[in-house]
């Protein structure tokens, strides 16, 4: 997830900043996977333009794909 996307859709400058501001300690991929989905979704809902982590991921992919297409034009 690009820093540009995160900064446009939250008060954070990067995904790392968003993650470090969450109530979770995440140092590994396993830590990230172990986070309770409902609590992470709640954090995303309260701190971004999206209702859930899934929605944010979908929109980030759409944003990325659009940027890639624009580069090719």
Per-residue pLDDT of the chain (73 residues; tens, 9 = 90+): 999 999 999 999 999 999 999 999 999 999 999 999 999 999 999 999 999 999 999 999 999 999 999 988 6
In degrees, rounded to 5, the angle at the alpha carbon of residue 54 between the alpha carbons of residues 70 and 49 is 70
Q: What is the pLDDT of residue 73?
A: 67
pLDDT at 72 (0 to 100):
82
Pair of tokens at residue 27: 């140092």
CA 59 to chain centre: 9
């Amino acid at each position: 997830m690009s820093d540009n996307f995160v900064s446009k859709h939250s008060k954070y400058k990067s995904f790392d900043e968003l993650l470090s501001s969450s109530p979770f300690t995440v140092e590994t991929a396993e830590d990230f996977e172990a986070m309770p989905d409902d609590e992470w979704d709640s954090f995303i809902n309260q701190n971004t333009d999206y209702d859930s982590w899934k929605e944010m991921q979908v929109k980030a992919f759409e944003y990325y794909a659009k940027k890639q297409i624009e580069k090719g034009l």
